[in-house]
Amino acid sequence: MADGYNKPIPIPQPESDNYWEGAKAGELRLRKCDDCNQAYFYPRNICPECGNNNTSWIVASGNAKIHTFAIVHRPPHPGFMDDVPYVPAIVELEEGPRMATQIINVEADPSVISIDMAVKVVFESITDEISLPKFEPA
Amino acid sequence: MPVMDKLQAISGTAAIVGVAESDQIGRTPDKGPLELHAEAGRNALADAGIDKSEVDGVFTAGYSTYDVAEYMGITPHFTDSTSVGGSSFVIHIAHAIAAIQAGYCEVALITHGQTGRSDRARAGGNPGLPSAQYETPYGIIGPPVAYSLAANRYMHQYGEDRTREAMANVAVSTRKWANMNEKAYFYDTPMTFDEYHDSRWISWPFHLPDCCLVTDAGAAIVITSAERAKSTKKGAVNILGAAEGHDHAVLHQMPDLTRTWGRHSGPQALEMAGVTHDDLDLAMIYDSFTYTVLATLESLGFCGPGESPDFVADQRTAPGGNFPLNTSGGGLSYTHPGMYGIFTVVEAVRQLRGETGQRQLDECKLAMAHGTGGLLSSTGTVILGRD
């Protein structure tokens, strides 16, 4: 674990083990329904669209665009005290699904960041088991 | 899908006969949340003139109904702990009508109590929930961050400047109502447009006054059959329409960040009541944030997508305006203990009864109360009328 990391840390669950193993290996893995032929997020075995369990894993390109973002000035949790202002966001992946994330390696300024801006995934290692997929300007 | 002719058949068959807050609201460091439930419950029963021993249906959220019922000494035959955030207590009204109609109970008591101000520590997340893996690690924690993400999407679609002005209009008009409610947290604190625009950022695009209060408070509602309501102390406020639902839990799963489930629960409740938007004298709309009001007005159908900034322009929702909105001072300026929805109903009932003193509307026969819960996730809408 990075020294002093005191933010919430994901605890992988049975349906998400492979997602987090992928992130550790530098891959953004998504579930895809082989009946709907549609990728979806977050990972679960049963397709939320059609309800079938004929689903598989794919590796996403990591290309996305910003669907929305905010700039947090008052930390909502002690772990983010030294991070403000930071930029939480929802991004739309090239494969279609949206996911929550953070935009990093950019100035936290609404005149610099914009909705629809192209971003790409980067993986930030926070523990031996967990790397968080974050996004930076493409 | 809801069966409208069945719903219309039960419109007006149950009535709100008691409403109350806990003895104090705002800051109550010497009281626990269950105590606030119990105080509000006792006060609402007194408002109705109904003895506790007659309560046979209990409804609550946050705690289980058995916690609240045991604390109050109630042994109900019908129990409902539906917990979908701040809208829960509005949704309980629909459930109470159904239970009373089906014969499961005759006197329904809905209670709420939270000490959001005094216990500022946040509960740890359940690691089995998607939020713990996919949102909180990114600092998407708590409503201000989540709702600010939704608000920025709205700004992008409909214009930043006009959205900003609309958020200011909602904040200032709501504060003016609070300045007429002596129970309001900001009763003695006016706010100008300049003060709004000059205030600090919480999570851009939200200034501090875009965000609701964090208070201690409890409230309760007593519901019984329309027949039995006739013999209560203050008579009936008729429940003419009630509808509910949700379309996501975590924010990034929200189908459209600018549209809430109110797009279904609003029209359904109005149709059940057999009334239209224009018939309403009062709208009590959960204002967790200024943005919540903008998205909700559009979802409910008061105006079209992107039209809220025009709808709330020029202090139209303030005292003296022609669209009275959140006359208690709302979650923004009156009270907001965490799950505020029940307080929209308390104020609507008091306005319909003519009990609200200097902020009393000249004409108030028909009101909407609307709760939103979670991260814009769930809604409950009720239409209330007084003969």
Assigned domain for B174 exists: no
Give the model confidence (pLDDT) of A123-133 as tens digits. 999 999 999 99
d(CA B63, CA B61) in angstroms, rounded, equals 5
Interchain CB contact of B203 with A (< 8 Å): yes
A18 membership: H or E segment, kind and range: helix A17-24
CATH of the domain at B39: 3.40.47.10
Record: contact A89-B200, CB cut-off 8 A: no
Q: What is the pTM of this model?
A: 0.96
Q: What tokens appear for B223 in the block?
A: 């519901």
Measured between beta carbons, the chain A residues lying within 8 angstroms of B125 are 8
Taking residues A16-39, report their average pLDDT: 97
Full domain range(s) for residue B9: 4-119+213-385
Record: contact B138-A115, CB cut-off 8 A: no
For tokens 């022609």, name the residue: B322
Beta-bridge partners for A98? A92
What is the pLDDT of chain A when averaged over all its residues? 95
Assigned domain for B178 exists: no
Contact B108, B17 (CB under 8 A): no
Assigned domain for B166 exists: no
Taking residues B339-365, report their average pLDDT: 98
Contact B88, B95 (CB under 8 A): no
Answer yes or no: is pLDDT of B188 > 70. yes
Q: How many CB atoms lie within 10 A of CB B186?
A: 20
Give the model confidence (pLDDT) of B226-283 as tens digits. 999 999 999 999 999 999 999 999 999 999 999 999 999 999 999 999 999 999 999 9
Best residue of B126, B129, B131, B140 to probe chain A, by most A CBs closer than 10 Å: B140
Assigned domain for B155 exists: no
What pLDDT is recorded for position B387?
86
Contact B236, B17 (CB under 8 A): yes
CA B21 → CA A114, B103, B273, B352, B373, distances in Å?
44, 28, 27, 17, 20
d(CA B288, CA B340) in angstroms, rounded, equals 8
Cβ contacts of A105 within 8 Å, gap of 6 or more: A122, A136, A137
State ipTM.
Answer: 0.95
Taking residues B38-62, report their average pLDDT: 97
Distance from CA of B153 to the nearest CA of A (A): 5
What pLDDT is recorded for position B128?
83
Interchain CB contact of B354 with A (< 8 Å): no
SS3 B46: helix
Answer yes or no: is pLDDT of A1 > 50. no
Q: What tokens appear for B83 in the block?
A: 């917990």
Answer yes or no: is pLDDT of B17 > 80. yes
Taking residues B354-374, report their average pLDDT: 98
In percent, the amount of chain B with pLDDT more than 90 equals 96
Q: What tokens appear for B210 in the block?
A: 């875009």
Record: contact B153-A115, CB cut-off 8 A: yes
Answer yes or no: is pLDDT of B124 > 80. no
CA B307 → CA A87, B224, B260, B372, B384, distances in Å?
28, 38, 15, 20, 26
What pLDDT is recorded for position B121?
56
Q: What tokens appear for B155 in the block?
A: 């700004």
What pLDDT is recorded for position B247?
97
What pLDDT is recorded for position A96?
97
Among B154, B158, B185, B286, the one annotated catalytic: B286
Beta-bridge partners for B385? B238, B366
Record: contact A71-B127, CB cut-off 8 A: no
Give the model confidence (pLDDT) of A39-84 as tens digits. 999 999 999 999 999 999 999 999 999 999 999 999 999 999 999 9
* Tally of domains in chain B: 1
Assigned domain for B110 exists: yes
Among B196, B291, B334, B340, the one annotated catalytic: B334
Assigned domain for B253 exists: yes
What is the pLDDT of chain B when averaged over all its residues? 96
Using the CB atoms, write b or e for A85-117: b if 16+ within 10 Å: bbbbbbbbbebebbbbbbbbeeebebeebebeb
d(CA B212, CA B145) in angstroms, rounded, equals 13
Tell me which residue in B137, B203, B253 faces A72 most closely, judged by beta carbons: B203
Q: What tokens appear for B16 in the block?
A: 């709100």
In percent, the amount of chain B with pLDDT more than 70 equals 98
Assigned domain for B77 exists: yes
Measured between beta carbons, the chain A residues lying within 8 angstroms of B137 are 7-10, 126, 132
Taking residues A19-26, report their average pLDDT: 98
Give the model confidence (pLDDT) of B300-346 as tens digits. 999 999 999 999 999 999 999 999 999 999 999 999 999 999 999 99
Contact B283, B265 (CB under 8 A): no
d(CA B323, CA B346) in angstroms, rounded, equals 19
What pLDDT is recorded for position B322?
96
Measured between beta carbons, the chain A residues lying within 8 angstroms of B148 are 70, 72
Q: Is B187 a catalytic residue?
A: no
**Omega before B205 within 30 of 0, i.e. cis:** yes
Interchain CB contact of B139 with A (< 8 Å): yes
DSSP codes, B167-190: HHHHHHHHHHHHTT-TTSTTTT--
Answer yes or no: is pLDDT of B122 > 60. no
Q: Is B185 a catalytic residue?
A: no
Tell how strand B201-204 and strand B107-115 pair up.
unpaired
Tell how strand B57-60 and strand B78-80 pair up.
parallel
Record: contact B139-A42, CB cut-off 8 A: no
Distance from CA of A81 to the nearest CA of B (A): 10
Interchain CB contact of B127 with A (< 8 Å): yes
DSSP structure class, residue B332: I
Assigned domain for B136 exists: no
Cβ contacts of B207 within 8 Å, gap of 6 or more: B171, B196, B197, B199, B200, B201
